[in-house]
Structure 1
């Protein structure tokens, strides 16, 4: 009589949940973020243990988080949006002009105008990419300069000053609610909505399918064109939203506002585990990547590290994230191949 092996005992739900947490890419980013904060705080306790230090820790990355969430949605579809910084700058200047040219305009109207402009510019990007079948890198590199050129031509040497903006609007950039900056609360609300959409709605899950294999997604009958255009529209709208909040946060807006933000947003998403090849990653990771990125930028000067090395650290993080994604992808492919061979 042959003894049969007993089936493995089912694991406890809590154990499975803990296992998923520790296996998640986001967990490693959180640990790295905590390590950076601890090292900087040990070197200079005011980095964290002061009212301004704690506030800046939460507040500074909030705007980048909004842009990075939109960028992550685009990257998940195996595209990239290099125009987000220019969209942010253009909507930030629009915000100031609306308050100057239309005294008494309601703040909500200004927000809607900024989001609408960002959505329109994102729609242009998406339509050119999805309908003209031109690589997103090429299209958005062109619109980066076009949108920036429009901003420079419009603003010229003028700039928006804090005195041009209503006090209640500026309060959004500096105010707090139960000790937490309002901008941080807004960014987290947007993050939760985006994460819920990608996880729970069919249209959100389809973005991952499109990014994993656009050709197969098209053959399967997914609305690839519509989803890609929608991803760019959302990215533009979030950049426009961030542009309005940029004006509230900093008060002073010139034609150079938002310069370089596109690379920071891409870096935050990639560092946070969003695969540049598409189909993998979460907006949670992009948000944590934004916090890690800007926290490192704040911490390195405290540690006496020069500006050049700050940029080198950022580059190393991005390269390391891409290499890790490649290693994980190869490991997953190897496991699938072994599973197929075992099934034969």
Structure 2
């Protein structure tokens, strides 16, 4: 228990609690249960993408194409539904998952087989995917009146007081917690990110592990693409523009080390919730929502500086212990 109280996760819980108290002094209705449910639902797309980004960053990579993946998949799903309203929702869900996984696999293969730096690969594919959206749509929107009721209604359907979108985020988070803690693949993510050289000597294929991280990230991005356009009932070229910055911010704020091999899924969840609360609170406290990107960028810099300082402190402790035993 004392270990948790000193952890990054406990600090985030405290910061979120203080943030809610401060907001409540200005707007008490913000912390009403119904509004908090809406805040969590608004944060669910960010949480889904951040879960995928977490495993990528754990392996010393980064995926800047997640928002473009989301946008392209969402546009394809919306155009398919508009052209063929009778296509079963299950088919659209499978399409979204498959498209996302395929785009993630492209990133992973380029990093694994061609040894191209992940930031270069994903910057390139981000631009390519955005270009594809314009090519297939001609720059035109798909609006709510062109979408079927089943298509737009699925993520909004309420089960036990929560929309389906929120339940999908909760289930995904639970699955990732189990995967990271209980499966060889989850342990491989940490091993590859923590010390790639040592991971090779234990029989792990670093490139292959990074490939599967990108596939997981892409799959969640594809699923979120459908959920996004269905929930907001609109698809256009610039869907989720700049959203990749918020995704990285959620991970870093949650304690995921950019250097790889360190961090927890719980931290990512709390980081996403922190950003979700800030985003929803900005209009309440009279701050323009356009400040959110600046806040996300500042949060990344501060969190990385904090993570680096913590890492150096731990390193000094280890060195002191080694000197004492020498």
Structures share a fold, TM > 0.5?
Answer: yes
| Unpaired runs of at least 5, structure 2 | none
Which residue of 1 is the match for residue 122 of structure 2?
A: 140
Aligned match of 1:22: 5
Of the three residues 300, 309, 316, the one matched with 1:327 is 309
Aligned to 2:89: 107
Equivalent in 223, 238, 246 of residue 220 of structure 2: 238
Task: Work out whether residues 85 and 147 of structure 2, in 8 Å CA contact, stay in contact via their aligned partners in 1.
Answer: no
Are 2:176 and 2:265, in contact at CA under 8 Å, matched by a contact in 1?
Answer: yes
**Count of aligned residue pairs for this structure pair:** 326
TM-score (norm 2): 0.95
Alpha-carbon deviation of 1:138? 0.7
What is the Cα deviation at residue 183 of structure 1? 1.0
Is the 2:9–2:254 Cα contact (8 Å) retained in structure 1? yes
Aligned to 2:298: 316
Instruction: Note the C-alpha offset of 1:308.
Output: 6.2
Q: How does 1:178-257 map to 2 (within 5 A)?
A: 178-257=160-239
TM-score normalised according to structure 1 size: 0.90
Partner of 2:68: 86
**Equivalent position of 1:8 in the other structure:** none
Q: 1:310 to 1:94 in 2, by over 3 A?
A: closer
Matched, 1:291 2:260: no
Q: Deviations over 1:307-338 (max 9, x none)?
A: 56544433332222111111111111112212
* Corresponding residue number in structure 2 for 1:11: none
The whole-number CA distance in structure 2 between the counterparts of 1:165 and 1:106 is 13
Shift of 1:188: 0.8
1:40 paired to 2:9: no
Say yes or no: does 1:58 pair with 2:40.
Answer: yes
Secondary structure in structure 2 of the residue aligned to 1:87: helix
Within 2, Cα distance between the matches of 1:274 and 1:225? 20
Aligned residue among 278, 298, 303 for 2:285: 303
Contact conserved, 1:36 with 1:299, CA < 8 A, in 2? no
Change (3 A) 1:276 1:255: same
8 Å Cα contact 1:37-1:299 kept in structure 2: no
Cα pair 2:279 2:289 within 8 Å, conserved: no
How far residue 221 of structure 1 moved from its aligned partner, in angstroms, is: 2.1
Question: Which SS does the other structure have where 1:173 is aligned?
Answer: coil
Displacement of 1:55 after TM fit? 3.2
Q: Which digits, 9 at most, give the CA deviation of each residue in 1:256-309, with x for residues without a partner?
A: 112111111001110111011111112221122112112112212322234565
Match of 1:166 among 137, 148, 161: 148
Distance in 1 between residues matched to 2:290 and 2:77, nearest whole Å: 34
Residue 276 of structure 1 is aligned with which of 245, 258, 282? 258
Match of 1:258 in 2: 240
**Aligned: 1:342 with 2:317:** no
1:98 maps onto 2:56 in alignment: no
Determine the C-alpha separation between the residues in 2 that align with 1:196 and 1:343: 38
Q: 1:29 is paired with a residue of what secondary structure? A: helix
Cα distance per residue 1:231-254 (max 9 Å; x no partner):
000000000010011122111111
Aligned CA-pair RMSD:
1.6
Gaps of 5+ in 1: 1-17
Does residue 117 of structure 1 match 2:99?
Answer: yes
Larger radius of gyration: 1
C-alpha distance in 1 between matches for 2:222 and 2:38 = 22
User: Residue 135 of structure 2 corresponds to which residue in structure 1?
Assistant: 153
